[in-house]
Amino acid sequence: MKNKILILFAHPAMHKSRINASLIKPLKNLKEITFHDLYETYPDFYIDVKKEQSLLVEHNIYVFMHPFYWYSTPAILKQWQDLVLEHGFAYGHEGSALRDKLLLSAITTSGSLDAYQPTGFNHYHIKQLLTPIEQTAALCGIKYLPPFVVHGALNLSEDEIRHHSEELQKALEALRDGNLNIAEAEKHPYLNSNLASIINAHIG
């Protein structure tokens, strides 16, 4: 039985997007994968909480997909978290609806890998900056996977963009099909650090 994946996509300026427009294109028609564009669905930010909670219950793997803005998510994804992950639903004594699900951050950033180091421009690793999302997942009983990160997004060649797009599709298909070794993935800083070995380690 295949896993059902919900992609919660948030990009406030898609008309300016180059990398994300390419990344999402092949994902929209994959079986068992629901592509959910939050800005397109809720341009007024009035989020249908019950509808979103139903979507979460219907899927067992979630992907927060967005550009990495100011070391965090775009505003609508934070709004979504604030409203949808309610006490009694996502956490708390009776809030067990999301327990044992999986969450992946799939992000793009203009900064290089070197910039996200203790000695780099941004002073912290990406994983450290994503700690609030990781802890949100933990509070909800969700397992948080190493992130899928595309660095240097503004300067990528068409071939490099195509490569990242193919890697993301492979990662999501492997998660969907149960062909990704999560224990092996957790040894790497990013899900796409060595994707082939993470998938092959499971298959082998």
CATH number, residue 69: 3.40.50.360
Is residue 200 one of the residues assigned to a domain? no
CB 54 within 8 A of CB 6: no
Is residue 203 one of the residues assigned to a domain? no
Is residue 28 one of the residues assigned to a domain? yes
CB 12 within 8 A of CB 75: yes
Is residue 141 one of the residues assigned to a domain? yes
Per-residue pLDDT at 105 exceeds 80: yes
Q: Among the residues of 11-157, which ranges form H helices?
A: 19-24, 38-41, 49-58, 75-84, 126-129, 131-139
Q: Which domain holds residue 109?
A: 5-177
CB 95 within 8 A of CB 89: yes
What is the rounded distance in angstroms from the CA atom of residue 130 to the CA atom of residue 71? 8
pLDDT digits (tens, 9 = 90+) for 155-177: 899 999 999 999 999 999 999 99
Q: Given pLDDT bands bounded at 50, 70 and 90, which one contains residue 133?
A: very high
Our count of domains for the chain comes to: 1
What is the rounded distance in angstroms from the CA atom of residue 64 to the CA atom of residue 130? 11
